[in-house]
A and B are shown apart, each in its own frame.
Chain A
Amino acid sequence: METIVKKRIKQVKKGDQNAFAEIVDLYKDKIYQLCYRMLGNAHEAEDIAQEAFIRAYVNIHTYDMNKKFSTWLYRIATNLSIDRIRKKKPDYYLDAEVSGTDGLNMYSQVAADVTLPEEELETLELQETIQKEILKLPDKYRTVIVLKYIDELSLIEISEILNIPVGTVKTRIHRGREALRKQLRHL
């Protein structure tokens, strides 16, 4: 996949904007997922994920072709997500459920649009509960947990994305996992 991506990037660098569409298609689910898990809101996740691709495009000349493209792209998306989190009020999520987003949470959207069988509904509710618990993690733990377990990245990749030592990644994963253990054990 990296070979195709690098070919397309060369085309983008030469000014072929359409080649970038293929790159977006390849990575959109991963990047959207990352943003959604970090932010917990479909609207914001779409906004930030789009912004990540636009920044990647605009700054494509700063991308080092010798490195993995996905690492670079993940770094952009992660930083944008963290910036967005830090701009929020700490009690944002509590507010959002009552007033702000008007049901723009992907699970409630799905649940409202179609009648789901009991089982599927339960799965969605469980997923929503897990997402809420992920959102309770401080952002430095949330980031490593999302990258490791939801995007299945290696510790080395995570350390490159976040530009922190592998040892720090490990410590944060341990602490994040401990926190989630306590939060999720009653489920």
Chain B
Amino acid sequence: MSCSSEYVQLLHKYLDLELTSSEEKMVKDHLHTCESCYQHFHELEKAVALVKSTSHIEAPLNFTEAVMNNLPREKRTVSWNR
């Protein structure tokens, strides 16, 4: 864990696309030479990819109807009929 905290910050900024091009080059060069930072970065990318892979859920059937049926009635001007 030699170059940990400073580089870890940079790795996160890299993931958030917040590095200047010179910083980016420095990080990339570093990743080529530093095994532990490379490993760290790889694990971060993997975590992000896994979390993103869960992003496809749809609302249950009849969700909209359920919401519409639960709106306060006194505000209704037209009846909900679909």
Query: Do A and B come from the same complex?
Result: yes
Q: Could you list which residues of chain A lie within 8 angstroms of chain B, going by C-beta atoms? A: 15-18, 20-21, 24-25, 28-29, 31-33, 36-37, 42, 46, 49-50, 53-54, 57-58, 106, 126-127, 130-131, 134, 145, 149-152, 155, 170, 173-174, 177-178, 180-181, 183-185, 187
Residue of B12, B55, B71 touching A149 (CB-CB under 8 A) = B55
What string of 1s and 0s marks CB contacts (under 8 Å) between B66-82 and chain A? Answer: 11101110011110101
Count, A-B residue pairs, CB within 8 A: 120
CB of B15 closer than 8 Å to a CB of A: yes
Residues of B within 8 A of A187 (CB): 46, 50
Name 12 interchain pairs, CB-CB below 8 A, sorted by A: A18-B80, A21-B68, A28-B59, A29-B57, A29-B59, A58-B72, A127-B53, A130-B54, A134-B54, A170-B12, A181-B43, A184-B51
Q: Could you list which residues of chain B lie within 8 angstroms of chain A, going by C-beta atoms? A: 8-9, 12, 15-16, 18, 40, 43-44, 46-48, 50-55, 57-60, 63-64, 66-68, 70-72, 75-78, 80, 82
Cα-based distance from A151 to B47 in the complex (angstroms):
16
A54:B71 contact, CB within 8 angstroms = yes
Q: Contacts A29-B57, A29-B58: A149 and B48 contacting too (C-beta < 8 A)?
A: yes
Residues of A within 8 A of B59 (CB): 28-29, 31-32, 46, 49
Q: Contacts A28-B64, A50-B70: A177 and B44 contacting too (C-beta < 8 A)?
A: yes
B12:A174 contact, CB within 8 angstroms = yes
Residues of A within 8 A of B12 (CB): 170, 173-174, 177-178
Cα-based distance from A18 to B80 in the complex (angstroms):
6
Which 5 residue pairs of A and B lie closest in terms of their CB atoms, listed nearest first?
A32-B59, A28-B59, A180-B47, A174-B12, A150-B55
Nearest A residue (CB) for B39: A185
B66:A50 contact, CB within 8 angstroms = yes
B51:A46 contact, CB within 8 angstroms = no
B54:A150 contact, CB within 8 angstroms = yes
Cα-based distance from A127 to B8 in the complex (angstroms):
27
